[in-house]
Amino acid sequence: MDFYAINSLRDNHAGWSLLRAQNAPLALAFFMAAFTGPNQRNLGRQELIDVLDDVLFGLRDSEGEDRFPRSAGEYLDDWAADERKWLRKYYVPGEDEPHYDLTAAAEDVVRWVETLRGRDFVATQSRLTSIFAVLKQLVQQSETDPEVRLAELQRQRDGIDAEMQRIRDGNIRVMTAPEALDHLQQLTALARDLLSDFREVEQNFRKLDRQVREQIATWVGTQGELLESIFDNQQDISSSLQGRTFQGFWDYLMSPTMRSELQDLLHRATQIEALAGSDSLHAVANLHQDWLPAVEQTQATVRQLSQQMRRLLDDKVFLENKRIMQLIRSIESAALGTREAPPSGAFMEIEAPSVDVVLPFERPLYEPSRKVTVEDSVENAEDLDVDAGALFNQFFVDKERLKANIDAVLAEADQATLVEITEKHPLSQGLAEVVAYYQLATESDWATINPEQSQHLSWRLPDGSVREATIEQIIFGRPA
């Protein structure tokens, strides 16, 4: 980011405006007490007013009545206004009371301010362990060489066998108290970050939905083109990086096996003696219970996208039908107006309703087809001067042999150009063999034709002459 991007964030970002606000300490203290502290979302207006009244009562008692003169409801309306965007105000279907939730920008500020307080115990070992685990998974799951992957699995199995033997020998290593606290703090931090990510995911989904609705509102084309565009946008939402990663997390969390394993691990974590005095142990035990409401709300936002688009389409169809009915009514009114005083001359021509009647005897009788005399005299081929040598000069290009040439070269390299293949397996059938290679490249999923690069091929004819050809660069890759 350069100076201008940072300056634009300072002027327009909701989180930066919260840090610069005069009543930022009041807003942050309220956000922590109402939302991030108890891990709550989607609170009603009256419930938030009660919490904010408690916060204001304590501050006015110590700071004076004139320090915060506005009411709790006025503060909520101000923080949810478009100029602030610290709170998101919306209505739940079936309820008249507005609900509020923290925006992603406000939650980022709350988390950052909490880190300024400092920590007595900083997790370092668990972070390093997590980095190694993620890095190993990234490298191992991206490896395409089967020998390397088998060697890695064999190394892991040897380590597991050695660990099992140490346990059989009575040498059981138990995590120390500092190490347990280190991992617990890392687990708690990751859980909080995941909950805060849900608000940003939901905000991104709403942003995509808003773009689709704006397109519908300003559409000037046909109904079919609009539907095609909407379905493409719906597919973009589902197939976007945000949509795919969230759907993967949802499927993982909804798996009965994974949920049972998660609950068992959380229950066993609460039984560790080294963590008995930790304050965050209760939060870890209810980790999955905090995730489910947050994920369900994000999933409900995704479901509302289709409902909103359907409603917008229904409104557009209703307006079009209304316009059609208006045109029909205008035609009927004009017809009634001309009934009393019709115009002179021919006003309208309408074909009289009638049925075309064809009698059976009006159809023509059957007539046999005429016989055509064909001159069938055949000339003797010996009398014609025809060169039949061209019939015997034809040859066949064996594509299986060419595929075998490609596989033989790719057995020693991950990819090879057509020039490299023909150097090891020279062209024996000239240009026809080059065309066959080109056809194999177009039919293969592991070949690339680069029109921006060219390559030169040459081959020798039976008479000793050399022919050359310049074609597009063709690269064959080893199939995965």
Q: What is the pLDDT of residues 238-283, one digit of tens each?
A: 666 656 666 666 676 667 777 777 777 777 777 777 777 676 666 6
Distance in angstroms (rounded) separating the CA atoms of residues 170 and 158:
19
Q: CB count, 10 Å around CB of 87?
A: 25
Mean pLDDT of the chain: 79
Do 202 and 297 contact (CB within 8 A), yes or no?
yes
Query: Which is nearest to 193 in space by CA: 243, 135, 128, 127?
Result: 127
Q: What's the mean pLDDT in 174-185?
A: 72
Q: What is the pLDDT of residues 371-430, one digit of tens each?
A: 877 776 766 656 556 666 666 677 788 888 999 999 888 888 889 999 999 999 998 888
Q: What is the pLDDT of residues 220-229, one digit of tens each?
A: 766 667 667 6
pLDDT attached to residue 353: 74
Helix residue ranges per DSSP H, 379-474: 389-392, 399-410, 418-424, 431-443
pLDDT attached to residue 50: 92
Helix axes 287-340, 241-254, angle to 10 degrees: 120
Q: With pLDDT > 70 as the criterion, what percentage of the chain qualifies? A: 73
pLDDT attached to residue 245: 66
Tell me the one-letter amino acid at 439. Q
Residue 417: φ, ψ to 5°: -85, 170
CATH architecture group of domain 178-334: Up-down Bundle (1.20)
Query: Hey, which of 46-50, 129-133, 388-392 has the most confident mean pLDDT?
Result: 46-50
Q: What's the mean pLDDT in 174-179?
A: 73
Does 130 score more than 80 pLDDT?
no
Q: Where are the domains of the chain?
A: 3-116, 178-334, 395-477
Q: Does domain 3-116 correspond to CATH entry 1.10.1060?
A: no
Going by pLDDT thresholds of 50, 70 and 90, the confidence category of residue 46 is: very high
Does 336 score more than 60 pLDDT?
yes
Q: What is the pLDDT of residues 92-109, one digit of tens each?
A: 877 889 999 888 888 888
Distance in angstroms (rounded) separating the CA atoms of residues 131 and 139:
12
Does 121 score more than 60 pLDDT?
no
